[in-house]
Amino acid sequence: MLKYIALKGLLAVLVAFTVSLAAFLLLNVASDPAQAIAGEDATPGVVETIRARYGLDRPVYERYVSWLAGVVQGDFGESYYWHKPVAELVAERADETLTLAFSALLVTIVIAVPLGALAGLNPNSWIDRAALGVAVSAQAVPNFWLGLIMIILFAVMIPIFPVSGDNSWYHFVLPAIVLGASSVPAVMRLTRTGLIEVMGADYIRTAKSKGFRGNHLLRRHALRNAILPVISVLAVQLGQKFGGSVITESIFAINGLGRLALESILGADIPTVQMLIFVFAIVFVAMNLLADILNAALDPRIRIG
């Protein structure tokens, strides 16, 4: 098992660096960072000053190597905009994104698992069709649209929640619903399929023959087994919430990593973008790794294979 984890861990680090290299090249080749920082009406003199100030006049490979050397020593460089160490900047904003990601995951679980269970226990019934309808709708609706609709409904027309900001837990309700909704279809379907499969299994028949029924049968025998693959999917979904927070944080003006990423990309703040991509990649890869380990722990055939 340790060998398996080590191998997966090594692959994770390689993926993170490959992503960072691709991001670095795209950021530098596709645009002129100095111009992006300076703005539309900047004179050539100002652009040149910025280029020299941030060492953007050096070759791209040289800058990447120097960034990599810093990362190995735990130094992610200094932001062009904020003029402070990028690691400090990311640490300051991680709170908001973590809060949003975990709240969104909670929303996903609260909606998707019961809905999936209901659908799985009543396959092909109107409940099943209604649940699948919810899943299809949640999948079809883009985040930015759902966000604006939620704002109009629950912040403007019925002013229960604040429109934007991140001053209190209350500010996170609407964004968590918006971000959480996108994962509902996958988790709901998996719960439903798992339950249908489990409910047809021999051990459930045995349990029923012993007289177990209703909630007890569902909680002690069926759901516990059906939910195992869902847990590993939720781990991956948590990773996706980090990346997915970019749009949600912008709509709700939450000052987290997603919004930082968007602003940094628009402003070509390369050190910040680099670290954020690195962090997002690491989180995503770590969550995948966690899911792999969970699966391997639950099913030994996986680590042998």
Partner 1 sequence: MQFRNVANLVAVAVVATGLCTPANAGPEDDTLRIAMAEEILNLDYNYTTKREYIILAQLTDAKLFEFDPETQDIKPSVASEFEWVDETTLDVILRDDVKFHDGSRLKAEDVAYTYNWLRSPESEANATGVVERWLEKAEVVAPNRVRFHMTAVYPLVLRDMASRVMLRKAGTYGEDGQIDRDAMSSALVATGPYRVVSFEPGTELVLERFEDYFGEKPAIENVTVRNIPDIGTQQAELMSGGIDWMFKVPEDVATAADAIPSIDFLSGADLRIGFLVLDAGGWSDAEGPMTKVQVRQAVNHALNTEEIAKFLMGESSQAIHTACHPAQFGCDQSVTKYDYDPQRAKELLAEAGYPEGFPLDLWAYRDKAVAEAVASDLTAVGIDVNLRYVKLESLNQARAAREIPAYFGTWGSGGTADTAAIAQIHFGDSDRNLSGDDQLSELVLAAEQTADPDERKAFYSQALGVIADEAYWAPLVTYTANYLVAADLEFPLSPDGLPRLQNARWK
Nearest distance from C-beta of residue 49 to partner 1, angstroms: 6
Task: Give 89 or 112: the residue with its C-beta nearer to partner 1.
Answer: 89
Retrieve residue 273's tokens.
Answer: 């973008």
Task: Give 35 or 295: the residue with its C-beta nearer to partner 1.
Answer: 35
**For residue 119, how many other CB atoms are within 10 A of its CB?**
26
Query: Comparing C-alpha atoms, which of 278, 242, 281, 239 is closest to residue 87?
Result: 278
Task: Give 169 or 203: the residue with its C-beta nearer to partner 1.
Answer: 169
Fill in the amino acid letter for 130.
A
Retrieve residue 304's tokens.
Answer: 């042998």
**For residue 75, how many other CB atoms are within 10 A of its CB?**
14
Task: Give 152 or 297: the residue with its C-beta nearer to partner 1.
Answer: 152
Q: How far apart are CA 48 and CA 63, in angstroms?
A: 17
Nearest distance from C-beta of residue 37 to partner 1, angstroms: 9
Q: How far apart are CA 253 and CA 276, in angstroms?
A: 18
Nearest distance from C-beta of residue 138 to partner 1, angstroms: 21
Give backbone dihedrals phi and psi of 85, rounded to 5 degrees, phi first: -55, 135
Task: Give 29 or 72: the residue with its C-beta nearer to partner 1.
Answer: 29
Please check whether residue 113 is in contact with residue 231, taking contact to mean a CB–CB distance below 8 angstroms.
Answer: no
Q: Where are the alpha helices (DSSP H) in 73-209?
A: 86-121, 126-140, 143-151, 173-181, 184-199, 202-209
Nearest distance from C-beta of residue 184 to partner 1, angstroms: 21
Task: Give 218 or 260: the residue with its C-beta nearer to partner 1.
Answer: 260
What is the contact surface with partner 1 in residues (CB under 8 A)? 30-32, 35-36, 38-46, 49, 53, 81-83, 144, 148, 151-152, 155-156, 159-168, 170-171, 250-253, 255, 259-260, 262-263
Nearest distance from C-beta of residue 31 to partner 1, angstroms: 4
Instruction: Please name the helix (run of DSSP H) or strand (run of DSSP E) that holds residue 256, with its range, or none.
Output: none
Task: Give 151 or 293: the residue with its C-beta nearer to partner 1.
Answer: 151
Nearest distance from C-beta of residue 42 to partner 1, angstroms: 6
Burial (CB < 10 A; 0-12, 13-18, 19+), residue 30, is: exposed
Quickly tell me which residue has 């680090």 as its tokens. 13
Please check whether residue 120 is in contact with residue 226, taking contact to mean a CB–CB distance below 8 angstroms.
Answer: yes
Quickly tell me which residue has 């639950």 as its tokens. 298
Nearest distance from C-beta of residue 169 to partner 1, angstroms: 8
Nearest distance from C-beta of residue 275 to partner 1, angstroms: 16
Entry field: residues in the chain: 305
Q: What does DSSP assign to residue 223? A: I
CA separation (Å) from 284 to 12, 45, 274?
Answer: 9, 41, 15
Task: Give 232 or 250: the residue with its C-beta nearer to partner 1.
Answer: 250
